[in-house]
Amino acid sequence: MAKISVIGAGNVGATTVQRLAELELGEIVMTDIVEGLPQGKALDLMQAGAIVGYDTAIRGSNDYEDIADSDLVIITAGIARKPGMSREDLISTNTKIINEVSKNIAKYAPSSIVMNVTNPLDIITYTALKATGFEPEKVFGMSGVLDAGRFASFIAEELRCSKKDVEAMVIGGHGDLMVPLPQYTTVSGIPLTELLPEGEIARLVDRTVNGGAEIVGLLKQGSAFYAPSAAVARMAEAVLKDSKRILPASAYLEGEYEQEGIYFGVPVKLGASGVEEILELELSEEQYEILRKSAETIRKVISGLGV
C-alpha cells in the first residue's frame, strides 16, 4: 500500500487529506508544527470514513520521522495570502519554512516524489528542489490544474454548459503572468475560439489570471482551498496509480519553451516517476512574449534567494 504524507494541516492540507482519503489511494500521515492540530483533524477524518465509507488510515503527527518511507510527499505548509498581498509577498517567510521542510523530506523520505502547493508556487518549488537535492523530475508544483480548473469553470458559466465538457489549458507562472491558452481549450472537442468571440475570451482569461486574488478578497482572511485540494488530489492520483495523465504542472525546464533552470507551468505526463515528459505546445508570438516576461520575473526572484 502507498504511503502519502501531507505537510501542513491548514485548510489546504486538511482538505487534501480528506480528498485523498475518499479516493483510498494509500495510508496518510498529516504533519504540522502546531501540537494537536494534525492529530485532531486526522481523528475527525478517520471518523468521517465510517460515515462516508472509506477505510483509509490517517494519522496526525508533529514529528517529521513519521513521514519515513513515503511514496508521495505533498507540501502545503506556509502562510497564506491576505487581501492586498501578491504571491511574491510571501517569498521570504515561505522560503524559510520550505527549506526546513525539504531538508526533512530528504532525511526521512529520500525516495519520495514531492509535490509543492505552497506559494509563490514556482519559486517555492525551486527552493524545494535545491533543499532536497532530488532529481528535478521528482519535484514538481501544483499550479496549472488549479488555474485550468478556474478557466474551465468560468467558461462553463459563460456558455451555460456542463463543467464536465470543458477541457482547459493554462501554462506559465502561477500568478499574474500565467498564460491561459484558448486555442488548446475545448468544449466537447470544439475549440473555445469557435464558441466565444475574442473579447469574451479575453475577459475570462483576465478573471482566470486574477482568480486566486478574487477569492482572497472575498474571504478577507485566508485563501482558496477547495479547488486547490481538488487539483492536488487529481495529480496525486496520477502519480500513485502511474496513470500517465497529461496535466499542467510546475516542472523544471531544461531548454523547453526557450527556458532553462527554472520551474514553470507546462503540460506534463505524470506517473510513478513524477514528471515523465514535458510537452511543448506551439504558441502565438504574443503568448510567447507573456511567457518570457513571466519566466524573467521568476528568474529574478530565484537569483536573489541564495539557494
Q: Which residues are catalytic?
A: 174
CA distances from 281 to 144, 164, 230 (A): 15, 23, 25
Helix pair 37-52, 11-23: axis angle to 10 deg: 30
Rounded to the nearest 10°, the torsion over CA 307, 64, 28, 51 is: -120
CB atoms within 10 A of CB 209: 21
Q: CA-based Rg of the chain, rounded to a whole angstrom? A: 19
**One-letter amino acid for residue 147 of the chain:** D
- Cell 483510498 belongs to 24
Q: Express the helix, strand and coil content of the chain in percent, nearest 5 each.
A: 50, 20, 30
What's the rounded Cα separation, in Å, for the pair 94 and 76? 10
Which cell numbers in the block locate residue 245? Answer: 495523465
